[in-house]
């Protein structure tokens, strides 16, 4: 019922999420719709008041907030990548660590 209502209001738009790390696309999610902030802002005051009175406006804002989780997903993907030094980086031995002596 709620989904039909926001669809009828015309505030949904097709969305696609692309997660890129260092300019290389890692994952893509498509085939879903999201509320357009611009279309939501353009709704008449009476419509917004009705959505607020039925707590549907709160649901819309929760949806918009959840869309920001794509940024957190990208950040987690970047944090989980192994750190690979460049091939020309100098090799540094950690202090206090030495090779065992041959017997």
In sequence order, the 6+-apart residues with CB closer than 8 A to the CB of 57 are 48, 51
Per the confidence metrics, is the pTM higher than 0.75? no
Classified as helix, coil or strand, 102 is: coil
Supply the pLDDT for residue 89. 61
Tokens representing 45 are: 């005051």
CA distance 32 to 34: 7
Tell which wins on pLDDT, 33 or 79.
Answer: 33
The DSSP symbol for 21 reads E
Q: Per-residue pLDDT averaged across 13-29, rounded?
A: 79
In sequence order, the 6+-apart residues with CB closer than 8 A to the CB of 18 are 25, 27, 28
Q: What is the pLDDT of residues 35-87, one digit of tens each?
A: 999 999 999 999 999 999 999 999 999 999 998 887 887 777 777 766 666 66
């Amino acid at each position: 019922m709620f989904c039909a209502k926001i669809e009828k209001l015309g505030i949904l738009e097709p969305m696609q999420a692309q997660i890129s790390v260092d300019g290389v696309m890692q994952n893509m999610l498509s085939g879903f719709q999201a509320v357009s902030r611009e279309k939501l802002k353009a709704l008449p005051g009476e419509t917004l008041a009705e959505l607020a009175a039925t707590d549907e406006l709160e649901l819309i804002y929760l949806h918009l907030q959840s869309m920001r989780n794509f940024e957190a997903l990208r950040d987690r993907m970047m944090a989980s990548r192994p750190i690979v030094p460049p091939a020309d980086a100098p090799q540094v031995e950690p202090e206090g660590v030495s090779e065992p002596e041959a017997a």
